[in-house]
Structure 1
Amino acid sequence: MKRSSGVRVCAVAAAGALSLALVTGCSSGSDKKTDDTKASGSASAPAAPAAKKLTKDELQKLLLAQGDIKGYKVAADKEIVSLSKSKIKVDKPDCEPVAWATSALAPGDTDSDARNSVSQVPEGVDKGDIEAAFDFDVTIVGLSSYDGDGAEKAMKAVADGVKACAGGYGVAQDGDASKVSKVVDDKVPAQGDEAIGYTQSIGMDEGTADFHTLVVRKGNTIATFYTANVGALAGGKSAAVEIPAAVVQAQLAKFK
């Protein structure tokens, strides 16, 4: 059975603010004293310290855990944890942040990231009904953190990538190649400090399927979300799935 490598990462995975306030000073006295102060530059505010990225362990603790969302199962699947950028090959460099975010990998330049999966596994399903047993949605969640303005640069890279890759791009994992026919910018609600959503149309065994990705920044940390139906992916079928708002809200609520 052939399966699109563009969504293979998610199929495999499914199987298993910092805000700083600037303090400004003011002085009282005569107009002449104020003018003298301005001239000397002594009233300038001190520079804010650069944002410091969170470590992998700190990000791991920020990921959703079992019990954080009622009705959802949280798993740290080995395939997700071990996934790396080196395993994903894209034929257009500008499209790399777009492909990385969909795979729960850091869309920017950082070595601090973590990921897991959150799924709604059906209950009371007959063990003999394989199709029903795999008919559930899984959301792959990725967190990444950056020093300085790295998070803002990563968001820009994603936004630029969505525009540059509107006409599609080629992607491969472990030699299994497929084609993203188009990338469309989604209008998403305001979330965190900055949010970007996009839909990728990817070739499947039974035509083309649309898949949504959401990227949200809070301070110098970025969260990425991608949701798919396990049964549809395994069968190479098209099944558009919305990213659960409950998962997004619960994950963002864990950021300070």
Structure 2
Amino acid sequence: MKRSALPRAAATVVTSALSLALLTGCGSGDDDAKGADAKESATAAAKALGSAELEKLIIATGDVDGYKVSAADKSQQFASSKDEVKVVDEKCAPIAYVLTGFAPGDSAAYVNRQATEVAAKPSASSTKSLEDMTDEELDDAMKGITDALGQTLTIVSLSSYEGDGAKKTLSSVSDAIAGCAGGFTATAKGDTQKFTKVEKEKASGTGDESLAFAVTGDADGDKVVVHGEVVRHGGTVATYYSISLAAFAGEGDAAEYDIPAEITKGQAAKLS
């Protein structure tokens, strides 16, 4: 995975600064079955939301404490459109789409955002040159850089589907996680991204269905782990793709981070 390609957005940020069961017991009677059938029928008859409706539902700054939410920087994207993303093994395409910020299925509408942890306010010493800093100010400046590298950048997308399209999309992601364990290769704009491993992870449990995975990529000879999650809320699918800026910069343990729970919870709340 070239450092100048897929995670370019991460590089930009770095240089400029992601029981009811107990109550019901074993009683799974006819009423429960009828309720499940009704829910399935409602999902199958789901009408897709339009882009304007999704724009109102996707998270914004203020919805998640400690995060700034902005438009994803298209100039930094691996691909400018979903059609540009080509995957050698087609069954792995849904994962590649999540990792490039696009809808994992054939959606009727789609929007996305970039959520970045809010960095601490710069100190007065940050405006000084290194030569003019005292030892204390230099330590403070280095701490600021370390804190920035500890941030996580997350791309959030919402896509809507007609009928049972959202359920089929979750199924395709599930198949990709299972069938692409050995990795896959994606290309766009002449850049090639090689992923060496796909692993299933514990999902957030939000929405009607949720799937999570970790993908290991090759970044100029270094291993970088990124995390993805796909959640179905009726006929709408939310996707999350997080990368540790420290992992991208080759600092720290890339495995010691995940998709921020506050982001998935915040987005789920807007869709409930």
TM-score w.r.t. structure 2 length?
0.73
1 CA distance for matches of 2:194 and 2:4? 8
Change in CA separation of 1:150 and 1:14 when aligned onto 2, cut-off 3 Å: farther
Contact 1:102/1:224, CA 8 A, preserved across alignment: no
Contact 2:225/2:247, CA 8 A, preserved across alignment: no
1:172 aligns with 2:171: no
Counterpart residue number, 2:49: 54
The higher radius of gyration belongs to: 1
Partner amino acid, structure 2, of 1:239: A
Secondary structure of 1:155's aligned partner:
helix
Partner amino acid, structure 1, of 2:66: G
2 CA distance for matches of 1:14 and 1:254? 26
Q: 1:192, CA displacement in angstroms?
A: 0.9
1 CA distance for matches of 2:190 and 2:12? 18
Q: 1:62, CA displacement in angstroms?
A: 0.6
2 CA distance for matches of 1:87 and 1:133? 35
Q: List alignment gaps of at least 5 residues for structure 2.
A: 17-33, 35-40, 128-140
1 CA distance for matches of 2:71 and 2:7? 17
Change in CA separation of 1:13 and 1:131 when aligned onto 2, cut-off 3 Å: closer
1:64 aligns with 2:59: yes
Task: Note the 1:1-256 alignment, pairs <5 A.
Answer: 3=3, 5=5, 7-8=6-7, 10-11=9-10, 50-79=45-74, 83-126=80-123, 127=126, 129=141, 131-132=145-146, 134-135=148-149, 136-205=151-220, 207-230=222-245, 232-233=247-248, 235=249, 239-240=254-255, 241-256=257-272
1 CA distance for matches of 2:207 and 2:186? 30
Output one character per residue of 1:81-126: Cα deviation in whole Å (capped at 9) or x when no partner.
Answer: 9942123221111111111122221111114000001111211335
Output one character per residue of 1:194-229: Cα deviation in whole Å (capped at 9) or x when no partner.
Answer: 000111110123521221101100100000011112
Change in CA separation of 1:150 and 1:186 when aligned onto 2, cut-off 3 Å: same
Q: 1:133, CA displacement in angstroms?
A: 7.1
Output one character per residue of 1:149-206: Cα deviation in whole Å (capped at 9) or x when no partner.
Answer: 0000000010111112111111123211121101111132422100001111101235
Secondary structure of 2:271's aligned partner:
coil
1 CA distance for matches of 2:152 and 2:92? 26
Counterpart residue number, 1:32: none
Contact 2:111/2:159, CA 8 A, preserved across alignment: yes
2 CA distance for matches of 1:201 and 1:226? 13
Moved more, 102-111 or 156-165: 102-111
Identity %: 36
Contact 1:72/1:119, CA 8 A, preserved across alignment: yes
Runs of 4+ with >6 A deviation: none
TM-score w.r.t. structure 1 length?
0.77
Partner amino acid, structure 2, of 1:225: Y
The answer to which structure has the higher helix fraction is 2
Counterpart residue number, 1:42: none
Counterpart residue number, 1:35: none
Change in CA separation of 1:12 and 1:143 when aligned onto 2, cut-off 3 Å: farther
Secondary structure of 1:191's aligned partner:
coil
Q: 1:138, CA displacement in angstroms?
A: 1.2
Moved more, 144-153 or 208-217: 208-217
Change in CA separation of 1:196 and 1:14 when aligned onto 2, cut-off 3 Å: farther
1 CA distance for matches of 2:89 and 2:267? 31
Partner amino acid, structure 2, of 1:255: L
